Chain A
Amino acid sequence: MKDLLFMFNSDSKFLIGKTMIFLILLYVAQVFITSVFPFDLPDTIRNYKVIRESSPTVIYFGDSVMRTVHPQDRDKRPIYLMLQKNLPDDLVASIDQMAYHPGIYEAYVRNIAQSRFKELKYVIVPINLRTFSPEWDKRPQYQFEKEKWLLSYEYTPLYSFLHFLFSIRAINLEPISDVSFLQTPIYLGEKQVGIVSDFENYSYKEFSEENFRKKAIYYYLYDLHSEHRKLQSLINIAHILHEKNIEVVFYITPIDIESGEKILPNQFKKQVITNASTIVNEIENEGFTVLNLVDALLADAFHWNVYINEHLNMKGRIFVAEKIAEDISRFRKESEIQK
């Protein structure tokens, strides 16, 4: 305790005063620097800030499904631009992420809730079933931790110091290591059939039935539980937007079930439909609706026609854009009736 007494003798008090002045000066300078020269932002956040300035009425959380275009498509527009045509009175903006992740969408929505999005009426959140599989959910590159922190703390004093906290690894930007990812169990329904490393080396280019079967199991045939973190993020998104009087439009992305049934008859469709139902039930239990398009399209509406996927060609994208527009029109009518 003597150290403590020494620390606060009269000489130290003078030094403490000087230090406090130094820290205040430092803080003011740092806040100024962050506002004038925003630090190294990922492109996605930079784009988001541009969108925020444009005051859209509809925001679409996109991923590769939204933007994938088949070389033979006559109409090469991504889904959100097709939707823009269907909703001429709205301004549709797409917040695009390299890979689908409701966790990062939740961070965007939290930021939206604190920002000046005065015109925003609808937020469209696709639900991509493949991304709930361990293959996607646990992949280290698809965690977007940096983006989550930057969005979540933009309006706090901590924001100015985030770069430093990243640098000294006070914030873990890699919550899942490559090693733990490769050891993640893979399930066929409820039965474990291996770990990620057993499935990672199957190439798209090897067109064998065994390869497709493995891929189908790896990507789609897990058994979805209601506690899944991505599902919880979707529910959080709905509640946050509801509090701000913004309608959320959930839709489950179509999957090429026709091709899936050829590889895993009586198994593929059953598991995918069950997983989709789990999502629909959980979200509807919270008082929100989901547009379930999981089995709405046949194989000819998909981008790849050799193996199961959820990437759409022009036909598929037009269909989805129309369905979303219908849903938004329904919301609009309902709210007008309520008024």
Chain B
Amino acid sequence: MALTSFSYLLLLFSAVAISIIIPYRYRWIILLIVSIYFYLSFIPSYFLIMILLIILNFFGGKMIQGKYKKRILFFIIGLNIGILIVFKYLEFFFSSLLHVFNIESSELSLSLSLLLPLGLSFVIFQLISYLAEVYKGTIKRERHFGIFSLSVLFSPKIIAGPIERPQGFLAQLHHKVYITFPFIISGFKLLSLGFFKKMVIADRLGVIVDTVYQSPEQYVGVPLIIATLAFTFQLYCDFSGYTDIARGSAMFFGYDFVENFRFPYISRSIKEFWRRWHISLSTWFRDYVYIPLGGNKVSQPRHYLNILVSFLLSGLWHGVGWNFVLWGFLHGVGVIASELIAPSNFLRGNQFIKILGNIFAWASTFLFITVTWILFRAQNFSDAWYVFTHASIGLKSFAFNLFRNDGSVYDYVFNQGNGLGLPKEQIFIAVIALLLLSIFEFFQARWDRTNVLIRVSLYILLVLGIINLSFVYERPFIYVQF
């Protein structure tokens, strides 16, 4: 059941309607039933893994408060990570080992390709943060098994987060929150924004990205650049769209999830980017990996090592493959570089130099992010290398032909390989929609100071975009695979 489907909306609105009618104390039951139904609509058998995790961590939280709490904490966290390894990384580790020892996997008839249970990485990270917070004493262990289960399974966020802390969503489940009209309106606003990002922009750009990245060796130059840029915006619209839908769905019930994105592509350094991109994950790594390793309260080399370790793990969390490890490593290096050459360190003096410096900082950060997304999107390392090495081929003649207007530029861009997979009017729609989203987000950042007419007009345009320009062919959310 996709979050952008009619079935999901029907389920959501039915749950809201029932929650309004029944007494508050029974609401968790309705939400839990709906969440279980939602999860079962994917692969029912993996629900057993979720039950196992819930039981393990519920009772784990209880045991942590007793004797040998540190050992128990590490043991239960180890079990959680063990489950994640079995389902997510086992095949990767074995195939890497076999590759190192030059053994054909078919010789050993290894069949380790277990399907990753939906949302497992997100759920396990949420549960680890629960255990850690109980251990630190910042929260009390949850005594209500039903509420605890709901905090894990709650349908809008189980697939791809945000990774909620126990002080957040779990605590909110104990507060009496009435469903009010302002909550419903806020829910609809977030839902609309999410639908627009996902169905109008991400799904449309996804066609270009999939077409080119399916067989990148058929392309050289500009199409590779276009597809990579398209992926940059597809990924943002896809994932932040998902988060908006999840946050909007929770908002109907009066629950407020953490913000996961804050205009990440306006960042002027990689460090800033990670304060704006997938915030619930980056703060998780900060709190449960980077700080326990010593954070910045250690020697400088060790501090940089802590950053690198956190980002290598973040890369591995995102996906199974050496390209993800390298992606994480490069971002770690990027964060270290941001600390070493922070623009504020040398951008002093007159306003013009400041502006110029900021533009340069933004452009170089955006370029770095876009280029490293190649590792994120390519199907394997050799495809990524191909895109790296062939994206700039023919740029000179492209720029030269741009002014000749004899159709050669059009052929070069649109008729290579399998073309870009999208007719040019669809590409035009995607660009216009991106522009509208940028304007929307520009005003959203200063919503309270924005004229009501502009706000209403923007929302009308957004909803009209969804009604008229949604891409009919469904594409799964990208982060679901993580």
Question: Hey, which bits of chain A sit against chain B, CB under 8 A?
Answer: 1-4, 6-8, 11-12, 15-16, 19, 22, 25-26, 29-30, 33-34, 37, 39, 160-161, 163-170
Does B178 contact A3, Cβ atoms closer than 8 Å? yes
Chain A proximity mask over B462-474: 1 for CB below 8 Å, otherwise 0: 0110111011101
**Would you list the 5 A-B pairs with minimal beta carbon distance, nearest first?**
A170-B6, A167-B470, A12-B181, A3-B20, A6-B178
B1-41 interface code vs A (CB 8 A; 1 in, 0 out): 00011110100000000011101100000000000000000
CB-CB nearest in chain A for B10? A170
Task: Check B5 against A16 for contact (C-beta < 8 Å).
Answer: no
Q: Does B185 contact A (CB under 8 A)?
A: yes
Q: Does B44 lie at the interface of the complex (its beta carbon under 8 Å from any beta carbon of A)?
A: no
Quick one: given A6-B179, A16-B181, are A166 and B24 in contact (CB under 8 Å)?
no
Q: Is B180 an interface residue (CB 8 A)?
A: yes
Counting contact residues on chain B (CB < 8 A from A), the size range is 20 to 34
> Knowing that A2-B24, A7-B20, A168-B470 are A-B contacts, what are 18 other residue pairs whose CB atoms are under 8 Å apart, sorted by A's residue number?
A1-B23, A2-B178, A3-B19, A4-B20, A6-B179, A8-B181, A15-B181, A22-B459, A25-B460, A26-B463, A30-B464, A34-B468, A167-B199, A167-B470, A168-B4, A168-B5, A168-B6, A170-B6
The answer for the CA separation of A30 and B460 in the assembled complex, in Å, is: 9
Report which of A15, A37, A39 forms a contact with B182, defined as CB distance below 8 A: A15
A39 and B468: CB pair below 8 A? yes
Q: A18 CB to closest chain B CB, in angstroms?
A: 9
Interface centre among A3, A12, A34, A39 (most CB of B within 10 A): A3
Separation in Å of the A19 CB from the closest CB of chain B? 6
B179 touches A7 (CB 8 A): yes
Q: How many interface contacts (CB-CB < 8 Å) are there between A and B? A: 77
Check if A164 sits within 8 Å of B470, measured CB to CB.
yes
Q: Are B9 and A3 in contact (CB under 8 A)?
A: no
Chain A residues lying within 8 Å of B9, measured Cβ to Cβ, are 168
Name the contact of B467 in the complex, choosing from A16, A30, A170 (C-beta under 8 A). Answer: A30
Which partner residue on chain A sits nearest B177 by CB separation? A3
Bound-state CA distance A19–B186 (Å) is 12
CB distance from A144 to the nearest CB of B (A): 15
Cβ–Cβ < 8 Å partners of B21 in chain A: 1, 3-4
Known contacts A168-B4, A170-B6; A12/B180 CB under 8 A: yes
Give the residue name and chain of the A residue nearest to B471 (CB).
A167
Known: A167-B199, A168-B4. A26 touches B460 (CB 8 A): yes
In angstroms, Cα B181 to Cα A12, docked, is 6
A161 and B6 alpha carbons, distance in the complex (Å): 13
Residue B43 CB within 8 A of the other chain: no
Q: Which residues of chain A come closer than 8 Å to B466, judged between CB atoms?
A: 164
Query: Is the CB–CB distance between A163 and B470 below 8 Å?
Result: yes
The answer to the question of B399 belonging to the interface, with a C-beta cut-off of 8 Å to chain A, is no
Q: Is the CB of A164 within 8 A of B4?
A: no
A139 to B460, CA, bound (A): 40
Task: Find out whether the CB atom of B7 lies under 8 angstroms from the CB atom of A169.
Answer: yes
Give the residues in chain A near B180, CB-CB below 8 Å: 3, 6-7, 12
Assess the B181–A161 pair: CB atoms within 8 A: no
Assembled-state Cα–Cα distance A74/B251 (Å): 71
- Taken together as a complex, chains A and B put the C-alpha atoms of A4 and B23 apart, in Å, by 11
Within 8 Å by CB of A12, from B7, B19, B182, B459, lies B182
CB–CB A25/B456 < 8 A? yes
User: B199: which A residues are within 8 A, CB to CB?
Assistant: 167
Q: Interface of B with A (CB < 8 Å)?
A: 4-7, 9, 19-21, 23-24, 178-182, 184-185, 199, 456, 459-460, 463-464, 466-468, 470-472, 474
Measured between beta carbons, the chain A residues less than 8 angstroms from B178 are 2-3, 6
Nearest CB of A to B367, in Å:
34
Q: Are B181 and A7 in contact (CB under 8 A)?
A: yes
Instruction: Please tell me if the beta carbons of A3 and B24 are within 8 angstroms of each other in the complex.
Output: yes
A-B contact pairs, 30 of them (CB 8 A): A1-B23, A3-B178, A3-B180, A4-B20, A4-B21, A7-B184, A8-B181, A11-B182, A12-B180, A12-B181, A15-B181, A15-B185, A16-B181, A22-B459, A22-B460, A25-B460, A30-B467, A30-B468, A34-B468, A163-B470, A164-B466, A164-B467, A164-B468, A165-B6, A166-B472, A167-B472, A169-B5, A169-B6, A169-B474, A170-B6
What CA separation (Å) do A13 and B456 show in the bound complex?
18
Please indicate which of the listed interface residues A165, A167, A169 has the most CB atoms of chain B within 10 Å of its own CB: A167
Bound Cα distance from A30 to B463, whole angstroms = 9
Complex-state Cα separation, A75 to B6, whole angstroms: 51
- Bound CA–CA A308/B17 (angstroms): 59
Once bound together, how far apart are the Cα atoms of A12 and B178, in whole Å? Answer: 13
User: Using Cβ atoms and an 8 Å threshold, which residues of chain A touch B20?
Assistant: 3-4, 7
Q: Is the CB of B467 within 8 A of A161?
A: yes
Residues from chain A with Cβ under 8 Å of B4 in the complex: 167-168
Evaluate contact between B185 and A163: CB separation under 8 angstroms: no
Chain B hits for A6, CB < 8 A: 178-180
Contacts of A34 in B (CB 8 A): 468
**In the complex, which residues of chain B have a beta carbon less than 8 angstroms from the beta carbon of A25?**
456, 460
List the A residue with the shortest CB-CB distance to B426.
A40
Instruction: Give, as a whole number of angstroms, the nearest-CB distance from B30 to chain A.
Output: 12
Q: Which one, B5, B181, B185, B464, contacts A26 given CB within 8 A? A: B464
> Chain B residues near A39 (CB, 8 Å)?
468
Most-contacted residue by chain B among A2, A8, A160 (CB, 10 A): A2
Q: How far is the CA of A11 from the CA of B472 in the complex (A)?
A: 38
Nearest CB of B to A24, in Å: 11
List residues of chain A with CB within 8 A of the CB of B459.
22
Shortest B458–chain A CB gap in Å is 12
Shortest Cβ distance from A170 into B: residue: B6
Once the chains bind, are B464 and A33 in contact (CB under 8 Å)? Answer: yes
With both chains docked as a complex, state the minimum distance between the C-beta of A116 and any C-beta of chain B, in angstroms. Answer: 26
Q: How far is the CA of A88 from the CA of B7 in the complex (A)?
A: 54
Q: Which residues of B contact A3 (CB under 8 A)?
A: 19-21, 24, 178-180
Shortest Cβ gap from A28 to chain B (Å): 10
Cα-based distance from A167 to B203 in the complex (angstroms): 11
- Docked Cα-Cα span, A191 to B193, in Å, equals 56
Instruction: Identify the closest chain B residue to A19 (Cβ).
Output: B185
- Interchain CA distance A19-B6 in the complex, whole Å: 22
B7 to chain A minimum Cβ distance, whole angstroms, is 7
Cα–Cα distance between A24 and B460 once the two chains are bound (Å) = 11
When C-beta atoms are compared, the residue in chain B nearest to A165 turns out to be B6
Closest residue of chain A to B467 (Cβ to Cβ) is A164
- Complex Cα distance, B24 from A101, in Å, reads 53
Q: How far is the CB of A41 from chain B (nearest CB, A)?
A: 13
